[in-house]
Amino acid sequence: MAQFTITEGADPFLHVSLQQGEKIYCESNSMVMMEDTLDLKGKMGGFGQALMRSFANGESLFQQHIEAVRGAGDCLLSPVLPGAMEVLEIGTHSYCLSDGAFVAAETSVSLVSRMEQLSVQGALMSMFGQAGGFFYSEASGFGQLVVSGMGSTFTLDVEPNKDVIIDNAHVVAWDSRLQHKVSLSTSQGGGLMGRLVNSVTSGEGVVLRFSGKGKVVICSRNKDNFIAWMRSSTAGNG
């Protein structure tokens, strides 16, 4: 099986070791370096799923497949945005991934895009530009899957009768056994319009409420805020 190792440092690489005949798939443009015993090919993997994946994770329609064709070899991968990575074991547990979290996986792991039905609240969220939370990907099968989050990552343990509420932009992945609910804000009162106004004015945005028992991987930085800041800084210097 492929060996995934995360290098040390604040902005690490994913080091992948493959024996002859082994292969992995990874996000488009994530390959930094590979030995010449390896082959790299781009695949869509079905137009419908590729399109859903693009909506779900902000990823390319294509993925890269790396295979050890001429002998064992190593490669280095890197996520699009700077930050930590986590290796998840898929098998007994499966995981759901959000907003560009996918980096790489063994080919024995399947990644399927999901879409939740929009409620009235969800439709209003979309009208006010509150994105995220409706599309995600679910991993199944067996093997290793690597995810990334901007900044540092931390794993939370959710316990029964102790729900956890997390800003959607800081959620990287969660145990698929957990129940999750998308909502506008942490406020419990004020009605739908009250929560909508509170969300827009406070900047809190979309949150995910997790219940049950399982793990949630979160990250310290909000990538949407970072991208918006970069764009405003670039525009100011133009």
Q: List pLDDT tens digits, range 168-184.
A: 889 999 999 999 988 77
Residue 89 pLDDT > 50: yes
Residue 17 pLDDT > 80: yes
Among residues 132, 150, 145, 128, which one has the least CA distance to residue 58?
132
Q: Write down the pTM of the prediction.
A: 0.79
Residues written for the chain: 238
CB 94 within 8 A of CB 125: no
Residue 194 pLDDT > 60: no
Amino acid at 97: L
Assign a CATH topology to domain 3-237. Double-stranded beta-helix (3.60.160)
Q: Confidence class of residue 93 from pLDDT cuts 50, 70 and 90?
A: confident
Q: pLDDT above 70 covers what percent of the chain?
A: 72
Chain centroid to Cα 237, Å, comes to: 31
Q: List pLDDT tens digits, range 132-160.
A: 445 788 999 999 999 999 999 999 999 99
Question: What pLDDT does residue 1 have?
Answer: 87
What's the mean pLDDT when you consider all of the chain? 81
Question: What pLDDT does residue 12 have?
Answer: 95
Q: In 10 A of CB 191, how many CB atoms?
A: 9
How far apart, in whole angstroms, are the C-alpha atoms of residue 106 and residue 172?
Answer: 19
Question: What pLDDT does residue 52 have?
Answer: 52
Q: List pLDDT tens digits, range 32-86.
A: 999 999 999 986 554 445 455 455 444 555 689 999 999 999 999 999 888 999 9
* Residue 218 DSSP label: E
Residue 191 pLDDT > 70: no
Mean pLDDT of 213-222: 94
Question: What pLDDT does residue 205 have?
Answer: 67
SS3 at position 224? helix
CA-CA-CA-CA torsion sign (24, 45, 27, 150): negative
